[in-house]
């Protein structure tokens, strides 16, 4: 990047770096609003910096950035209330995954799939629905939808 008349190349890159870090903080706050509220602005920003250093995004999208946050708290026990934060992160991640699935598949389709599996006398039908959900959770939403 070339310098401008008012900024050096390093300063211009720094602006983008700061904006990207803010965007990652927003993405994690979307999936983990209770953790953000519990920690407060300053501590949550610190968490985001530490988390993304250990778990950098490997995708062009930040949709799955927070997938490893529950494990992060197990791996980093020096965090105050790490066990509680781990459990809370697991709960919030599950909610975020359900919300995303609900938005893409639709409430009626999701409810129908769950109800069908729950009341079906067919072990094959139950296994099919449960396998779909397991695949979605373990490999990511889009892999499961495409199959």
pLDDT digits (tens, 9 = 90+) for 54-64: 998 888 888 88
pLDDT of residue 60: 82
Write down the pTM of the prediction: 0.62
pLDDT of residue 4: 75
Burial environment of residue 18 by CB neighbours within 10 A (0 to 12, 13 to 18, 19 or more): exposed
φ, ψ (nearest 5 deg) of residue 55: -135, 70
- Which token pair is 122? 């067919």
pLDDT digits (tens, 9 = 90+) for 111-122: 566 555 555 556
């Amino acid at each position: 990047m070339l310098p401008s008349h008012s900024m050096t190349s390093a300063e211009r890159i720094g602006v983008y770096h700061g904006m990207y870090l803010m965007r990652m903080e927003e993405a994690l706050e979307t999936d983990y609003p209770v953790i953000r509220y519990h920690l407060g602005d300053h501590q949550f920003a610190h968490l985001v910096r530490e988390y993304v250093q250990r778990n950098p995004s490997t995708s062009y999208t930040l949709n799955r950035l927070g997938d490893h946050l529950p494990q992060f708290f197990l791996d980093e026990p020096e965090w105050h209330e790490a066990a509680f934060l781990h459990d809370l992160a697991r709960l919030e991640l599950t909610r975020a995954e359900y919300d995303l699935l609900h938005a893409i598949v639709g409430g009626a389709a999701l409810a129908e799939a769950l109800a069908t599996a729950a009341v079906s006398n067919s072990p094959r039908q139950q296994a099919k629905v449960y396998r779909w959900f397991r695949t979605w959770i373990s490999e990511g939403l889009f892999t499961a939808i495409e199959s």
